[in-house]
A and B are shown apart, each in its own frame.
Chain A
Amino acid sequence: MSTLFKDRPVWAERPSLPASAAKSTTLAAIAVVIVFPLYVVILTSLSPAAAVNSAGGLVLVPQGISFQAYADLFSGGVVTRAVLVSLGVTAVGTLVSLVATVLAAYGLSQPGSLWHRPLLFAVLLTFLFAPGMIPLYLLVSDLGMIDSYWSLILPTAVNAFNLVVMRAFFMNLPQEIGDSARVDGASEWTILTRLVLPMSKGVTAVVGLFYAVGYWNAFFNAILYINDNSKWPLQLVLRQYVQQGQQLSSSSVIGDAVQGGTASAPNLAIQMAIVVVALVPVTFIYPLVQKHFTKGVIIGAVKG
């Protein structure tokens, strides 16, 4: 396997200088295209008012540093609330999703267990069709969940793909472990929590990440189900005040404490700070889990 070679395999010729230069340039260009927008956004959010004004917009070259934009955002206005909403929904949602998914994945992973075929079929069938936006909206509305945070969690709580990924992983674990524990009188709950889960940290982390990112990024559900803008998650705030550029000063994005004061960060810096707040949790959590991507948890299930 190519990755296992520290050096070039003996049979491979050295690439010519132009070829290897072209390759390096392409890879560098790809990395720059991805990283550059993030650099500009982060830098602008951290720039003092003078730097933003002299740049006439986004800042390319660092000219001092200021945390004023972040201080403004977290002084108790709309953004503070939206961040708390998103954090809460992400934490509770990920927990609900993981528990339901792990339990069902294990419950369906034992060969020959009662009714596992029809139940699995019911899970797999959800791949083939979506229920439809409007009937789902009416259901959520009939359940009285409009403007409830549960509307951001329950309709998307179980992802059949994640469930199948976990089930495939559990089925690949040696069955003998569970069998001998059963002989010793262990309950299925004990086998799952004491034996199976400790061996499945990687797949649990990856599936947990998928769920968490889904909840943090949730936009569509909030557009449909949350009318009360005091309950908006961060993505809606991002859209309203940054993508659509609604003015911040007139909209109490920043806290009351700051509005009366004098030292407020420039509008653009605050907007960019909202962008950074939206992307930072994802960029921090994801490298922790990334090493598991390559361990085949995803691929195994894709092929399954």
Chain B
Amino acid sequence: MTERTVTTSEAPPPSSAPRRRGGRGRPPAVPDHRGGHASVRARPSLSARLRRDWQLLLMTLPAIGLLAVFHYTPTLGNVIAFQEYNPWDGVLGSPWVGLTQFERLFTDPRFWSAVGNTLMIAAVQLVFFFPIPIALAILLDSVLSPRLRLVLQSVVYMPHFFSWVLVVTLFQQILGGAGLFSQMLRQNGYAPLEIMTDPDAFLFVVTSQMIWKDAGWGTIIFLAALAAVNQNLYESAAVDGAGRWRRMWHITLPGLRPVIILLLILKLGDILNVGFEQFYLQRDAFGSNVSEVLDTFIYHQTLVTGNFSAGAVAGLVKGVVGLVLILLANKLAHKMGEHGIYRRA
């Protein structure tokens, strides 16, 4: 980590932009387009600001437009959760059915099974995935040779950039029933491995895949936090006779504490989003009993059966609960003196 990390990590966040209104740091002597001089103190009129800032507004247009069309419009489309939607009549023509779809969803055992699987996977991730990037970051940070460290970082970051299809394929090729280890076992007269299709091994397999893919990438934020720890603390502790482990316990871990708390809280807010592709790809191999999560449930509910409202209602419930969780998580973050993903107003 270079100096840059430290400076940028302490840079003012976007939401804390200076509250100067109308000023924009522009020299006051620049003539207003209306002919007069823009006053330093008085806030310029709307048309003057429009004239001054129209280029900036124009620049935001493509991105804002894309978000409006592909994020906000479909969000409104969630009204079909209150309808018996059919594609021929569209959103405007389909009959309204009140909360019928919700009743159907909440009495559907497959929905609750998907909720259970999602929560189970999230819990296992929290316990078995979460600590690994922390440990790995401390390990990487202890590598003294900068060149070796860079090589190791390159290697452990890499799988993050592979698609889930690729990761699942690689796991199958190595650990699957027709994979490398099974092939070696078979050649030596043993039974092939079955973990890639064994429902009891599902949680173990998907967690291993997550660790393989993302544990290395997860170290980035912890490495930055480690680089920001004041090295003088280590030195004075060492001079005072604190050994390696005591320094880690009393200096390193407290240095990581804010990041750990923040990430834990964010994770809580994100608990329903365990992903789609990894589970979709392995649903046939492990069976939907263990591998159906909320997102795959929504997908199969609708795009396989053609019942759009049934999928939309599950999506809406997931979205609303997710929103509540994020808001709660942020409240918790603020309570613990952290920033969360947005600041207290």
Which A residues are closer than 8 A to B by beta carbons? 1-3, 5-9, 11-13, 15, 23, 26-27, 30-31, 33-38, 40-41, 55-58, 60, 99-101, 103-104, 106-108, 110-116, 119-120, 122-124, 126-139, 141-142, 154-158, 160, 163-164, 167-169, 171-172, 175-176, 178-179, 182-183, 187-189, 192, 213, 216-217, 219-220, 223-224, 235, 238-239, 242-243, 245, 272, 275, 278-279, 282-283, 286-287, 290, 293-300, 302-304
22 residue pairs of the A-B complex, CB under 8 angstroms, read A6-B146, A11-B239, A12-B238, A36-B174, A100-B62, A106-B59, A110-B53, A112-B24, A114-B46, A114-B49, A114-B50, A119-B64, A133-B299, A138-B87, A158-B66, A275-B169, A286-B157, A287-B154, A290-B157, A299-B220, A299-B221, A302-B221
Tell me, yes or no, whether B226 is within 8 Å of chain A by CB: yes
Contact A295 B5 (CB under 8 A): yes
Contact A3 B149 (CB under 8 A): yes
Contact B66 A107 (CB under 8 A): no
Contact B141 A2 (CB under 8 A): yes
The smallest C-beta distance from B164 to any residue of chain A, in angstroms, reads 7
Contact A133 B311 (CB under 8 A): yes
Contact A122 B5 (CB under 8 A): no
Contact A103 B62 (CB under 8 A): yes
Contact B26 A138 (CB under 8 A): no
Tell me, yes or no, whether B170 is within 8 Å of chain A by CB: yes
- Residues in A with CB closer than 8 Å to B149 are 3
> A107 and B77 in contact (CB under 8 A), knowing A11-B235, A238-B166?
no
> A157 and B66 in contact (CB under 8 A), knowing A108-B60, A171-B17?
yes
Contact A34 B64 (CB under 8 A): no
Bound CA–CA A41/B162 (angstroms): 14
The smallest C-beta distance from A152 to any residue of chain B, in angstroms, reads 12
Tell me, yes or no, whether B178 is within 8 Å of chain A by CB: yes
> A134 and B226 in contact (CB under 8 A), knowing A157-B66, A182-B30?
no
- Nearest 8 pairs between A and B by C-beta? A135-B77, A300-B8, A304-B13, A104-B63, A107-B59, A217-B163, A132-B315, A131-B74
Contact A132 B319 (CB under 8 A): yes
Bound CA–CA A99/B343 (angstroms): 28
Tell me, yes or no, whether B55 is within 8 Å of chain A by CB: yes
The smallest C-beta distance from A74 to any residue of chain B, in angstroms, reads 19
Contact B220 A138 (CB under 8 A): no
Q: Which of B25-77 contact A (CB under 8 A)?
A: 25-27, 30, 46, 49-50, 52-53, 55-60, 62-64, 66-77
- Residues in B with CB closer than 8 Å to A103 are 59-60, 62-63
> A37 and B244 in contact (CB under 8 A), knowing A132-B312, A213-B161, A303-B13?
no
Bound CA–CA A216/B166 (angstroms): 12
The smallest C-beta distance from B62 to any residue of chain A, in angstroms, reads 4
Q: Which of B205-261 contact A (CB under 8 A)?
A: 212, 216, 220-221, 224, 226-227, 231, 234-235, 238-239, 243-244
The smallest C-beta distance from A252 to any residue of chain B, in angstroms, reads 21
The smallest C-beta distance from B325 to any residue of chain A, in angstroms, reads 10
Bound CA–CA A13/B161 (angstroms): 38
- Residues in B with CB closer than 8 Å to A12 are 234, 238
Contact A9 B56 (CB under 8 A): no
> A113 and B53 in contact (CB under 8 A), knowing A2-B226, A107-B59, A171-B14?
yes
- Chain A's closest residue to B21 (CB) is A112
Contact B56 A107 (CB under 8 A): yes
Q: Which of A26, A156, A287, A297 contacts B139 (CB 8 A)?
A: A26
- Residues in B with CB closer than 8 Å to A171 are 11-12, 14, 17
The smallest C-beta distance from B151 to any residue of chain A, in angstroms, reads 8
- Chain A's closest residue to B182 (CB) is A57
> A275 and B303 in contact (CB under 8 A), knowing A129-B319, A296-B9?
no
Contact A34 B161 (CB under 8 A): no
> A33 and B11 in contact (CB under 8 A), knowing A2-B141, A104-B62?
no
Q: Which of B298-344 contact A (CB under 8 A)?
A: 298-299, 302-303, 308, 311-312, 315-316, 319, 322-323, 326-327, 339, 341-342
Contact A7 B144 (CB under 8 A): yes
In the complex, besides A113-B24, A119-B64, 11 extra interface pairs with C-beta distance below 8 angstroms are: A3-B227, A9-B235, A37-B171, A58-B180, A104-B64, A113-B57, A154-B66, A178-B25, A243-B165, A290-B153, A296-B6
Contact A243 B9 (CB under 8 A): no
The smallest C-beta distance from B332 to any residue of chain A, in angstroms, reads 16
Bound CA–CA A141/B143 (angstroms): 52
The smallest C-beta distance from B226 to any residue of chain A, in angstroms, reads 7
Tell me, yes or no, whether B152 is within 8 Å of chain A by CB: yes
Contact B1 A1 (CB under 8 A): yes
Contact A138 B77 (CB under 8 A): yes
Contact B231 A9 (CB under 8 A): yes
